[in-house]
Amino acid sequence: MIIKPKTRGFICTTAHPEGCAANVCEQIDYVKSQPALEDPPKNVLVIGSSTGYGLASRIVPAFGGGAGTIGVFFEKPGTDRRTGSAGWYNSVAFEEEAQKAGLYAKSFNGDAFSNEMKEQVIAAIKDGPGQVDSVIYSLASPRRTDPDTGEVYRSVLKPIGQAYSQKNLNTDTGEVNEITIEPANEEEIVQTVKVMGGEDWELWLNALSDAGVLADGANTVAYSYIGPELTFPIYTNGTIGRAKVHLEESAARLNEKFGEGTAYVSVNKALVTQASSAIPVVPLYISLLYKVMKEAGNHEGCIEQIQRLFANHLAAESGPKNLDDRNRIRIDDWEMSEPIQEAVHELWELANTDNLDQISDFSGYREEFLKLFGFGLNGVDYDAETDPERPLISGD
C-alpha cells in the first residue's frame, strides 16, 4: 500500500509505519544525545504511552536510563486494507528499538480505564520485572466507561458559567475567525471530571499497590496544563480545568496514602498533539507560541519537555524541585515566562487570516501535525509500497 495523509478536521485518518518509526528514532536519538539520567527508575509503567507526552515518557527513562517499560494505549493495528493508527506504529517501533538495545518492553492495547486491563498489566509485572518504581499517567480520552457500573462518561471542552468568544484558527483552511462556545451544564462538568480527572489514576495506583507490584518509594506523575489568560475560559477555568483540579486532589490523596513525594502533577507546555489539536482556540495560540519560542531559541517538543522533567525532577538525585504553591512541577516555565507571554499576546491582538503566515508559525504547526502521523520525515520514501500490517513484538 502507498500511504498518504488523509486529514479531516483535526484528525488524520492514515498513518505511515516507516514515518512513525523515523519519528520515534528521532526522539530516541535526542535522548541519547543528552547526559544519562542521574537516578533513573528501573521499571516504568506508562499509561497512555503511544503518542504525545506519554510516548516521550516511555522513551526518556528507557533510552536515558536503561529502564524497562510497560506501555498501555488504545490504538488500531493496521490490516491489509487500512493503515493502523500512529500510536500503534509508534509502539511497534519503540519495541523494536528497545529490543535492539536489550531493554525490557511490554505493551498492552486496550482500555486503560477497565479492571481487566489493570489485571493484565499487574499479571505481566509479576511475570516480568516484579515491580514498577515509576508510573506515568498520560491519558487523553474523550470518554470513559466506569469499570464497576458500566456507565459511559464523556468529556467536553467548554467554558463554565458564561459563553466564551475568542479568535479561533481553522487548521484545515488557515482562516482566523471568531467562535463562541456555550457554557457547560453541571452534568457535563461532572462527566468531564469523571473522564479526565484523577479517579482512574488513583484506581491504578491502588490496584498496583494492593497487588504488591508497586516498589517502595515509587513515584507517579500525571500531566496538566495552565496556559495564558486568553485561554483560561476554555481551559484552566473550563471543564477540562475542573478535571485538572481533581487530578491535583488525587495527587494529594495519593501522597497521604503512599507518603509525601509519591505523586506529582507536572504542568507541561502547550504542544501539537492529537489531543491538543481538538481544543478550540488553542491551535492559534500554539502557532503564535511556536513562532515566539523558536525565535527566542527555547522551543521544545514533547521529547525535550520530558527529558527536562526526568533530568531535573523525577530522575534527579535531589528529586523534584521548584514546585509551585500548589505542589506542581512546572516544565511550562519557559512558555509562561513574561517575555514569551508578552510577545505572544501582542501577536494575538494582530492575528488574522491575511497575516497568519507572517506572524505565526502555522506552517510549523501543520508540519508538526502531519509528523504525528508519520508524514514529512526525512529519509522516508512516501511513494514506496509499505506494509500496513506491523505486529508488536510483545504480542497483543
**Catalytic residues, which ones?**
235
Name 81's Cβ contacts closer than 8 Å, sequence gap at least 6.
388
List the grid coordinates of 168. 479561533
Q: What b/e sequence results for 165-196 when a residue is b if at least 16 CB atoms lie within 10 Å of its CB, and e otherwise?
A: ebbbbebeebebeeeebebbeeebbebbbbbb
Beta partners for residue 329, in sequence order: 266
Only segment of 71-79, 96-104, 148-156, 309-317 that touches ligand NAD (CB under 6 A): 71-79
In the set 21, 62, 75, 135, which binds ligand NAD (CB under 6 A)? 75
Which one, 10 or 104, has the nearer CB to ligand NAD? 10
Q: In angstroms, what is the minimal distance from the CB of 189 to ligand NAD?
A: 16
CB of 259 to ligand NAD, least distance (A): 24
Contact 12, 370 (CB under 8 A): yes
d(CA 207, CA 195) in angstroms, rounded, equals 18
Beta-carbon count within 10 A of 110 CB: 15
- 74 lies in the site for ligand NAD, by CB under 6 A: yes
287 binds ligand NAD (CB under 6 A): no
Q: For residue 206, which amino acid is it?
A: N
Which position among 19, 31, 68, 73 is part of the footprint of ligand NAD (CB under 6 A)? 73
Q: Which three cell numbers stand for residue 333?
A: 516555565
What is the per-residue binding string for ligand NAD in 125-164, x denoting contact by CB under 6 A? -------------xxxx-----------------------
Q: By C-beta, is 63 or 113 nearer to ligand NAD? A: 113
Q: Which is nearer to ligand NAD, 36 or 160 (CB)?
A: 160
- Of these, 268, 287, 307, 360, which contacts ligand NAD (CB under 6 A)? 268
- The reply on whether position 274 binds ligand NAD by CB under 6 A is yes
Rg of the chain over Cα atoms, rounded to whole angstroms, equals 20
Residue 68 cell numbers, joined: 524497562
Choose, by CB under 6 A, the member of 12, 21, 67, 72 that binds ligand NAD. Answer: 72
Of residues 346 through 375, those in contact with ligand NAD by CB under 6 A are: none
Q: Would you say 213 or 331 has its CB closer to ligand NAD?
A: 331
Question: Which residue's Cβ lies closest to ligand NAD?
Answer: 52
Residues 21-60 interacting with ligand NAD (rule: CB under 6 A)? 48-54
Question: Residue 49 or residue 379: which is nearer to ligand NAD going by CB?
Answer: 49
For the bound state, the minimum distance from the C-beta of residue 350 to ligand NAD, rounded and expressed in Å, comes to 23
Strand pairing partners for 275?
Answer: none
Given a contact cutoff of 8 angstroms between Cβ atoms, the answer to whether 181 and 161 are in contact is: no
Comparing CB distances to ligand NAD, the nearer of 67 and 72 is: 72
Residues 207-226 that bind ligand NAD (CB under 6 A): 223-225
Distances (CA, A) of 373 to 54, 84, 326, 390: 15, 10, 35, 15
| Mask for 223-262, x = binds ligand NAD (CB under 6 A) | xxx-------------------------------------
* C-alpha 366: how far from chain center: 18
> Can you tell me which of 236, 276, 307, 394 binds ligand NAD, judged by CB under 6 A?
276
Q: Helices 86-100 and 17-32: crossing angle, nearest 10°?
A: 50
When the beta carbons of 138 and 168 are compared against ligand NAD, the nearer one is: 138
Where do the DSSP E strands lie in the chain? 7-8, 11-12, 43-47, 68-73, 105-109, 132-137, 143-145, 152-154, 164-170, 175-181, 214-224, 263-267, 329-330
Q: Candidates 67, 181, 271, 309: give the one binding ligand NAD (CB under 6 A).
A: 271
Concatenate the DSSP letters of all residues of 214-238 into one string: EEEEEEEEEEE----GGGTTTTTTS
How many of the chain's residues bind ligand NAD (CB under 6 A)? 29
DSSP 3-state percent helix, strand, coil across the chain (nearest 5):
40, 15, 45
Q: Give me the least distance between CB of 80 and ligand NAD, in Å please.
A: 23
Residues at the interface with ligand NAD (CB under 6 A):
48-54, 72-75, 87, 111-113, 138-141, 223-225, 268, 270-271, 273-276
